[in-house]
Amino acid sequence: MKGQSLKTFVNGIWRDHPIFSMILGICSALAVSNKVENAIAMGAGVTFVLLATGLLISLLRKLIPSRVRMITYMVVIATFVIIVDRVLKAAVPDISRALGPYVGLIITNCIIMGRAEAFYVQNRLGQSLIDAFSNGLSYTYTLVIVAVVRELLGFGTILNFRVMPQGFTNWVVMAMAPGAFFVLAVFIWISRSIAGMEE
């Protein structure tokens, strides 16, 4: 039992990594990774929704008719996303404004739908929560890694503290969309090479 929990955890955090291995949840990984603070807020939000969805779906898994399971997941996820949206608006209004519509788009983040369909609906509560936590964790650390590179080069700061010397010219492209593509592409390249993964 203990061995299986560990395996679930390791799978989520490395072997079945949602971003570089399964290519899920890319939209938000690209869009909100321009600053580290946005990445952390988004990562926390997604992790919370994953945990809450995992909890509810794996408890209800025997009650959900399989014909309407997709729409059930959607409603469950949307409910928790509203909670995240409200909490962010109240606690960190600046970040909430920066994230804009991307908070609502957690609903269509395929990591959550994918895990609900592939894991929570078939597994017991404990395993589902471990899976949710490890997937949330790997999503968050990926976002933070990408965001560190982009914020450092695009703004010369990390978490809004000036890191680069005064004479440093900001690479504006890093703060914009193309930079997101390039940094994530390199991240996928490196981690896939380490994992020895092919197409």
Residues at the interface with other proteins (CB under 8 A)? 20, 23-27, 30-31, 70-71, 74-75, 78-79, 81-82, 85-86, 100-101, 104-105, 107-110, 113, 173, 176-182, 184-185, 188-193, 197-199
Q: What's the closest the beta carbon of residue 55 comes to other proteins, in angstroms?
A: 18
> Backbone phi, then psi, for 159, in 5-degree steps?
50, 40
Q: Based on CB atoms, which residue is closest to other proteins, 126 or 178?
A: 178
Q: Based on CB atoms, which residue is closest to other proteins, 84 or 130?
A: 84
Q: Give the integer Cα–Cα distance in Å for 43 and 38.
A: 8
Q: What's the closest the beta carbon of residue 113 comes to other proteins, in angstroms?
A: 6
One-letter amino acid for residue 123 of the chain: N
Q: Based on CB atoms, which residue is closest to other proteins, 130 or 145?
A: 145
Q: Based on CB atoms, which residue is closest to other proteins, 118 or 190?
A: 190
Q: What's the closest the beta carbon of residue 110 comes to other proteins, in angstroms?
A: 5
Q: What's the closest the beta carbon of residue 108 comes to other proteins, in angstroms?
A: 4
Residue that is written with structure tokens 């949840």 in the block: 25
Neighbours of 99 (CB within 10 A): 22
Q: Based on CB atoms, which residue is closest to other proteins, 74 or 125?
A: 74
What is the greatest pairwise CA distance in the chain?
Answer: 62
| Planar angle of CA 164, 167, 170, nearest 5 degrees | 65
* Number of Cα atoms under 13 Å in the Cβ half of residue 197: 16
Residue that is written with structure tokens 């896939």 in the block: 192
Q: What's the closest the beta carbon of residue 45 comes to other proteins, in angstroms?
A: 13
Q: Give the integer Cα–Cα distance in Å for 33 and 84.
A: 18
